[in-house]
């Protein structure tokens, strides 16, 4: 069921890789309830499929903006930006959104109790280009943005961060799955020394080790997103932080292993691998990198051993 | 045996697992003071005896029978209930299940492949702590290439005569029964010529020699069978069908066992975190991620087993994740404890840390080496071509 969902979503996203058409066709709504099995599966399928296809829908941005009550659905586009600090009185915002240029509202979470919103015309490109070409860094003057009144902003922020981390982890899983597919396929086709390179033990061990990482991430995502395994871990706490950190580590390892098998070099245009690597690095940079999160996880208090792996 | 007070009388269902966790946790808390606890570093036989007593207490209170079908003497429920109990036992500070790990390695496959009545009789004696089992697969010249084993079984009246030697057999020196894989066909038949038997180690012709170990425990033994007679009723499955049984055992040893093992590793990670400094937080964080991925993946195996399915080749990632999680945990211990791990000048329970550290090095060998797991994944999960 879950695999079928992902394949369907992937097919739709490949037909319509940007914009809201794909989201409308998928009947995707940001007002989802992850406790509901269908909602959780469609959430997983969308972001995994986005990672596999490198589609650039505004789903993530809309999802976060919706948590703050700023937008209602894909037809009312919103996006968010992470606040990076003030410089000479000017707000510097690094946009998180993929396909943010289609947004009609950009929400900037500047921490504490403040949230600002403005139209895209209030922003200009900062000139610094993120690795993933579907992202863009933009800046805006504070005076050009309006404050948004949101009750209990801290609670909304926690929920937005949780969903964003889950979404990124799932998209990174999709990236890993696609890279494995590319590498395994190439290992069958590419012949050296008169044999397919996939028959060489050294490459088999490399790909098997990478597959172990992907299986670990896929099962971790499944636990966090519910399913029957919930009976074993009834009360996940900091699940999104765990799965986002794991996704960062996994993509780091899987992109390197598959780059090696594909002989992809990683910074030439001839192999698609570099596009997935750029997306993986960008996703890792959002909402806490692997290195930032792993340090937080390791410093957790010791009075609840299972809590570290998400069990109450 | 009557149904114990406080336990429900209707069969346990998967949906009960959350409630079940709470009730077992409550029971453990209420009875913790009188339940036997053994310290790491204590005499090995003494530790095993303590576990036997704990097992008999769990049986007397009815808990040990949960997770097994009523037709084989259980109270219903599934592998999920057993998994929850292992979690809670480790969380409450009880030590590793050691010899009783065969409830997760051998028993699920025996339930499927053997006569249910015979299995039920044997299972009750293991569940009650009265008897222990072991697994006789590896031989001196048959490790990763298990199919090349030489121990033979030949027909003799209503049974078989078994001759040969098994090596690196965990718990054999303490066990009463051994699930033995033997060749009843010709060597040319390879895996199709193998059969499995449940052999009484008290039979004439069986000799068990404990192997002295360098880590302070004597878990391993060498078992020789000299023309040992085994009744046909103790053959697990049909003659020549030992390999499918062995594959299901290996599936459990690689996947469901990984769940059992991670409960212990979580407790160890907790002890380690208590003495870790902020400077090593990223290392501890990576340990947490290893355990998280291991727990999620082995949980999948438990759920599959609860549905009556063995993982087959898909068990290999669980074992691979267990290997890296356990070895990385004890690498972290070496980093955090520093010279104390080797010298023992500062920490009181250094013996336990040393014993566990040395054990962790072998995780990439037992139950199928890391290289065998990777080969399995490459061939059967990724479909890579043969060399």
Active site residue B253: yes
Buried b (16+ CB within 10 A) or exposed e, A17-49: bbbbebbeebebbbebebeeeebbbbbbbbbbb
Structure tokens at B318: 């669980």
Structure tokens at B322: 């267990």
Q: Judged by CB atoms within 8 Å, which residues 142-181 of A form the interface with B?
A: 180
Q: Decide if A185 touches B, using CB distance below 8 A.
A: no
Q: Which of B253, B304, B326, B355 does the annotation list as catalytic?
A: B253
d(C-alpha B17, C-alpha B303), whole Å: 11
Which domains can be identified in chain B, with CATH numbers? 14-96 (1.10.540.10), 134-241 (2.40.110.10), 255-381 (1.20.140.10)
Nearest-Cα distance to chain A for B330, in Å, is 15
Structure tokens at A56: 């650039």
> B21 contacts in A (CB within 8 Å)?
234
Mean pLDDT, range A103-130, rounded to an integer: 76
Q: Decide if B387 touches A, using CB distance below 8 A.
A: yes
Nearest CA in chain B to A295: B282
Structure tokens at A290: 């692997």
- Which residues, in sequence order, are bridge partners of residue B222? B209
Q: Do A245 and B80 touch (CB under 8 A)?
A: no
Mean pLDDT, range A302-312, rounded to an integer: 52
Which domains can be identified in chain A, with CATH numbers? 2-57 (no CATH), 76-150 (2.40.110), 154-309 (1.20.140.10)
Do you know the residue count of chain B?
387
Nearest CA in chain B to A292: B282
Q: Judged by CB atoms within 8 Å, which residues 126-165 of B form the interface with A?
A: none
Q: Decide if A234 touches B, using CB distance below 8 A.
A: yes
> B302 contacts in A (CB within 8 Å)?
232
d(C-alpha A162, C-alpha A152), whole Å: 16
d(C-alpha A91, C-alpha A144), whole Å: 10
> pTM score, two decimals?
0.91
Q: At B83, phi and psi to the nearest 5?
A: -60, -40
> A311 contacts in B (CB within 8 Å)?
87
Per-residue pLDDT of chain B (387 residues; tens, 9 = 90+): 444 434 544 555 656 788 888 899 999 999 988 888 766 556 778 888 888 999 999 999 999 999 999 999 999 989 999 999 998 998 888 877 778 999 999 999 999 999 999 999 999 999 999 999 999 999 988 887 888 889 999 999 999 999 999 998 888 999 999 999 999 999 898 889 999 999 999 999 999 998 888 776 778 889 999 999 999 999 999 999 999 999 999 999 999 899 999 999 988 998 898 888 889 999 999 999 999 999 999 998 998 999 889 999 999 999 999 999 999 999 999 999 998 888 887 787 888 888 889 989 999 998 899 999 999 999 999 999 987
Q: Decide if B321 touches A, using CB distance below 8 A.
A: yes
| Helix, strand, coil share (%) of chain B residues, nearest 5 | 55, 15, 30
Tens digit of each residue's pLDDT (9 = 90 or more) over A11-34: 999 988 776 778 888 877 777 777
> A308 contacts in B (CB within 8 Å)?
266, 269-270, 273, 288, 291-292
Among candidate residues A2, A3, A34, the one with its CA nearest the CA of residue A236: A34
Q: Do B286 and A211 touch (CB under 8 A)?
A: no
Q: Judged by CB atoms within 8 Å, which residues 1-60 of A form the interface with B?
A: none
- Which residues, in sequence order, are bridge partners of residue B195? B182
Tell me the CA distances in angstroms from B66 to B52, B56, B77, B304, one per residue in order.
17, 14, 6, 17
Tens digit of each residue's pLDDT (9 = 90 or more) over A245-299: 999 999 999 999 999 999 988 788 888 999 999 999 989 988 889 999 999 888 8
> B300 contacts in A (CB within 8 Å)?
219, 222, 229
Nearest CA in chain B to A230: B18
Nearest CA in chain B to A185: B384
């Amino acid at each position: 069921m879950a695999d079928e969902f992902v394949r369907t979503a992937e097919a739709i996203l490949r037909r319509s890789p940007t914009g809201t058409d794909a989201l409308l066709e998928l009947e995707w709504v940001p007002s989802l309830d992850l406790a509901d099995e269908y909602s959780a599966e469609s959430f997983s399928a969308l972001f995994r499929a986005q990672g596999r296809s490198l589609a650039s829908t505004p789903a993530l941005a809309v999802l976060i903006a919706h948590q703050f009550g700023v937008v209602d659905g894909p037809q009312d586009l919103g996006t968010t930006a992470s606040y990076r600090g003030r410089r000479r009185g000017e707000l510097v915002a690094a946009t998180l959104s993929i396909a943010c240029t289609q947004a009609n509202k950009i929400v900037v979470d500047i921490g504490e109790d403040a949230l600002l919103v403005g139209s895209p015309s209030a922003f200009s490109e900062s000139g610094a280009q993120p690795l993933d070409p579907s992202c863009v860094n933009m800046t805006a003057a504070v005076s050009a943005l309006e404050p948004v009144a949101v009750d209990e902003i801290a609670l909304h922020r926690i929920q937005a961060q949780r969903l964003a981390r889950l979404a990124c982890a799932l998209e990174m899983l999709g990236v890993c799955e696609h890279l494995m597919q590319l590498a395994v396929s190439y290992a069958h086709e590419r012949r050296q020394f008169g044999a397919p390179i996939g028959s060489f033990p050294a490459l088999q061990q490399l790909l098997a080790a990478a597959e172990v990482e992907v299986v670990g991430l896929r099962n971790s995502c499944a636990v966090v997103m519910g399913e029957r395994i919930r009976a074993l871990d009834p009360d996940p706490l900091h699940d999104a932080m765990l799965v986002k950190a794991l996704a960062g580590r996994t993509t780091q390892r899987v992109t390197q292993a598959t780059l090696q098998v594909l002989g992809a070099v990683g910074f030439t245009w001839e192999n698609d691998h570099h596009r997935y690597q750029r997306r993986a690095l960008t996703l890792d940079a959002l909402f806490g990198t692997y290195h930032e999160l792993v340090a937080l996880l390791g410093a957790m208090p010791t009075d609840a051993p299972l809590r570290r792996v998400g069990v109450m | 045996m009557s149904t114990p007070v406080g336990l429900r009388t209707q069969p346990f269902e998967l949906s009960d697992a959350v409630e079940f966790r709470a009730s077992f946790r409550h029971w453990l808390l209420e009875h913790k003071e009188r339940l036997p606890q053994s310290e790491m570093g204590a005499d090995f036989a003494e530790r095993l005896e303590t576990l036997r007593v704990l097992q008999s207490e769990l049986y007397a209170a009815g808990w040990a029978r949960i997770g097994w079908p009523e037709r084989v003497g259980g109270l219903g429920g599934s592998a999920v209930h057993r998994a929850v109990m292992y979690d809670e036992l480790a969380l409450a500070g009880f030590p590793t299940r050691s010899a009783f790990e065969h409830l997760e390695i051998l028993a699920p496959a025996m339930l499927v492949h053997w006569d249910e009545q015979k299995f039920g009789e044997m299972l009750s004696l293991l569940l009650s702590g009265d008897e222990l089992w072991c697994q006789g697969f590896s031989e001196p010249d048959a490790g990763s290439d298990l199919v090349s084993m030489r121990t033979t079984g030949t027909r003799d009246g209503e049974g078989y005569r078994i001759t040969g030697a098994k090596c690196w057999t965990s718990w054999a020196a303490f066990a009463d029964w051994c699930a033995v894989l033997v060749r009843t066909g010709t060597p040319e038949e390879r895996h199709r010529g193998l059969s499995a038997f449940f052999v009484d180690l008290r039979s004439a012709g069986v000799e068990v020699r404990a192997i002295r170990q360098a880590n302070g425990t004597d878990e391993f033994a060498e078992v020789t069978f000299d023309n040992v007679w085994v009744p046909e009723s103790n053959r697990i499955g049909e003659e020549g069908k030992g390999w499918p049984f062995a594959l299901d055992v290996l599936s459990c040893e690689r996947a469901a066992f990984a769940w059992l093992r991670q409960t212990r590793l979580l407790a160890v990670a907790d002890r380690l975190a208590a003495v870790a400094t902020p400077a090593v937080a990223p290392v501890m964080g990576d340990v947490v991620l290893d355990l998280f991925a291991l727990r999620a993946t082995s949980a999948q195996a438990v759920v599959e087993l609860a549905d009556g399915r063995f993982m087959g080749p898909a068990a290999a990632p669980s074992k691979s994740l267990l290997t890296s999680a356990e070895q990385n945990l004890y690498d972290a211990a070496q980093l955090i404890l520093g010279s104390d791990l080797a010298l023992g000048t500062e920490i009181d329970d250094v013996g336990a840390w040393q014993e566990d550290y040395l054990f962790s090095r072998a995780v990439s060998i037992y139950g199928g080496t890391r290289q065998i797991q990777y080969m399995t994944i490459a061939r059967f999960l990724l479909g890579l071509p043969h060399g």
